[in-house]
Amino acid sequence: MGDRRQHSKDHMQQKPQRTGSPGKRRVRNICVYCGSNSGTNPAYAAAAHRLGQTMANADIGLVYGGGGLGLMGELARSVLAHGGRVTGIIPAFLSKKERMLRDVTELIVVDDMHQRKKLMFDKSDAFVALPGGIGTLEELVEQLTWAQLGRHTKPVVLVNIDGFWEPLLALLRHMSEEAFIRPEMDVRFATVERAEDVVATILAAAASQRRGEAAAAAAAVSEKF
């Protein structure tokens, strides 16, 4: 991966975590994609703040792009202000442009965007998209594509504040109607209207997945006897 400059206020975060079997996996960290701007609607920043509070209260860590501006900064500071854990992952070339937030639990400076996205994926148990721009959209669509292709089963949630994501939802419906998304290759994600509902939605999806994995394992065992 090349040189990586890593800083942490909590050295315990540097220790590798045991992931356990898929059936025992729980939601420890959520990756949130969002804008480095705040947008024109004050509801977006308010939602970022509430999401940070909800995650911290649930003892769920934040993994995000490491910036201190816009919704990214609002979210990270909210998690920290409410006693939560934050991992920021940012390429060196964006450290000044996005005003890298240094007061996080773990700060990882990488060489490029590919390393950033890979680490964000590896460190997260679910993905959330708040309002944002092209970068937010690209990261979100990548996770939807990987899930569609069966490369991961981690929950993905769109936070549709004041209908921000309606154009994307309409486009996905249009793609399905035009047969560019086949029924067996459906794009699976959840949509919530309020930031306060994100954590509960992810926990419910993770629990449902665990039950499905347990049922599949039991069925596989029964077929052997």
Q: Which residue has the higher pLDDT, 154 or 215?
A: 154
Average pLDDT of 180-205? 93
User: Cα(149)–Cα(165) distance, rounded to whole angstroms?
Assistant: 22
Mean pLDDT, all residues of the chain? 87
Helical spans, DSSP H, in 58-197: 70-81, 113-122, 134-148, 166-177
Element (H, E) at 49: helix 42-57
User: Containing H/E element for 109?
Assistant: strand 106-110
- Tell me which residue of 88, 119, 93, 205 sits closest to 155, measured CA to CA: 205
**Residue 200's pLDDT band (boundaries 50, 70, 90)?**
very high
Residues recorded for the chain: 225
Residue 23's pLDDT is 43
Both structure tokens of 158: 């769109």
Among candidate residues 35, 59, 60, the one with its CA nearest the CA of residue 47: 35
Residue 213's pLDDT is what? 63
Per-residue pLDDT of 66-119, as tens digits, reads 999 999 999 999 999 999 999 999 999 998 888 999 999 999 999 999 999 999
The predicted pLDDT at position 220 comes to 57
Q: What is the mean pLDDT of residues 150-163?
A: 96
Residue 144 pLDDT exceeds 80:
yes
Does residue 33 contact residue 130 with C-beta atoms inside 8 Å? yes
- Asked whether the predicted pLDDT for residue 131 surpasses 60, the reply is yes
CA 112, 91, 18, 50: dihedral to nearest 10 degrees?
-130
Whether 4 has a pLDDT exceeding 90, the answer reads no
The CATH code belonging to domain 27-223 is 3.40.50.450
